[in-house]
Amino acid sequence: MANDSAVGLHDLSFATTEFVLPHTVLAAEKGVDVGKYHKGIGQWSMSVAAADEDIVTMGAAAAAPIIERHGSDGIRTVIFATESSIDQSKAAGIYVHSLLGLPSATRVVELKQACYGATAALQFAVGLVRRDPAQRVLVIAADVSKYDLDSPGEATQGAAAVAMLVGAGPALVRIEEPSGVYTADVMDFWRPNYRDTALVEGQESIGAYLLAVEGSWKDYTEQGGRALDEFAAFCYHQPFTKMAYKAHRQLLNYCGHAVDEERVGRDLGLTTAYNSVVGNSYTASVYLALAALLDQADDLTGRRIGFLSYGSGSVAEFFAGTVVPGYREHLRTEAHREAIARREPVDYARYRALHEYALPADGGDHRAPAQTTGPYRLAALRGHKRVYETTGGGRGASRPSARTSTAG
């Protein structure tokens, strides 16, 4: 049984998009060897959002199975982490709250700090549960990673959402203290309010990430954290999967360890399975890595996992989690694999059209094309208000009765 004094992840579920662009298609269009993507950055395909999908529809799809299994009793806080925000004022989580039919006695907030935001949300959730062990917190991380067409970052795009139920006596992973944290003011990746796509200084971003690995680990050890050899695996933020390998080699070097590629593969290998076919999911990335690890490993009971969360700009955190006994009974492995397998492949022309699609911003009444077969969709814009609805489709999870959510 789980230690009832512990706080951590009680459930974890993820969702991704309707469409997928294989990197073989991208390579053929660009006239490059596919090895540039498969071997160079470790990516095989990338999730592509339908015209009626966004962070809300993915976030709700990820969270619905958690509500189905556990109900909403005790969930007094929803924290939505994203860097693909759809509104400068209203939290995306409020739409999800409505779509899922959660109680009105709930606080809902949105957090932003590039790809790091979900880890801040998780740590805030742990603090809330420690203050009131009877409550549970729903943490949602959802993003659509989007770069300019024909830019160096195009091949790393992706989209996904991870929902996590945080509570006392966790069924999956106990979150440990302490954490190591690090902040530096750098312009390695950013998206001004007037742009739909991010700007990135590629080499500077890699360098900033590696410095953040060192800085957060240094603080972690100074706060009394575990030794490197105590960890069975490491979940890194994966803007592309090979970046996790670069980061781990940096950590090994920093700690005075020889870079043994067999060890690197053992520490990271199982964590990249989902990210390599989904692409960069920004805030969800670290926890998509955790899902892949838990779904594939033989048995991690009692083993420690290291988490390195990085968000450009930059903020990073290193912390540890311990896998609790009986965790495998609570995994959603089949549903996770189905979420990936069900995506419809698109050709480059279809992908490009989806990339360039945007609903008009004139405040009129505009229906979104009906494309997703998922449980929730962006139905329209009406008077500058986003309108969401449930659908007759879905990914195998039962859903609340049909409802519509609008911004007011």
Backbone angles phi, psi at 216, to 5 degrees: -70, -35
From the list 235, 164, 234, the residue with the least C-alpha distance to 15 is 164
Identity of the amino acid at 33: D
Bridge partner residues of 174 (DSSP):
8, 322
Catalytic residue among 10, 23, 110, 115: 115
The 10 Å Cβ neighbour count of residue 69 is 14
Which residue carries 């069924």 as its tokens?
Answer: 171
CA angle, residues 89, 93, 99, in degrees to nearest 5: 125
Q: Which residues of 236-258 are buried (b: 16+ CB within 10 A; e: fewer)?
A: bbbbbbbbbbebbbbbbeeeeee
Catalytic residue among 18, 53, 83, 110: 83
- Which stretches of 223-321 are DSSP H helices? 241-254, 261-268, 275-278, 285-296
Q: Is 261 a catalytic residue?
A: no
Question: Please, are residues 67 and 397 in contact by the beta-carbon 8 Å criterion?
Answer: no
Give dist(CA 3, CA 169) in Å, integer: 5
How far lies 58's CA from each of 52, 160, 351, 375, 389, in Å?
Answer: 11, 7, 18, 9, 13
Question: Please, are residues 11 and 172 in contact by the beta-carbon 8 Å criterion?
Answer: yes
For the chain, how many helices (H) and strands (E)?
12, 19
HSE of 194 in the Cβ direction (CA atoms, 13 Å)?
A: 0
Pairing mode of beta strands 199-200, 189-190? antiparallel
Which residue carries 């199975």 as its tokens?
Answer: 65
Q: Is 389 a catalytic residue?
A: no
Give dist(CA 71, CA 90) in Å, integer: 25
Give dist(CA 332, CA 237) in Å, integer: 21
Q: Is 237 a catalytic residue?
A: yes
Catalytic residue among 10, 23, 237, 355: 237
- Two structure tokens written together for 43: 């990516």
- Two structure tokens written together for 11: 């459930």
Contacts of 314 (CB under 8 A, 6+ apart): 114, 182, 183, 184, 185, 186, 188, 208, 209, 212
Residues taking part in catalysis: 83, 115, 237
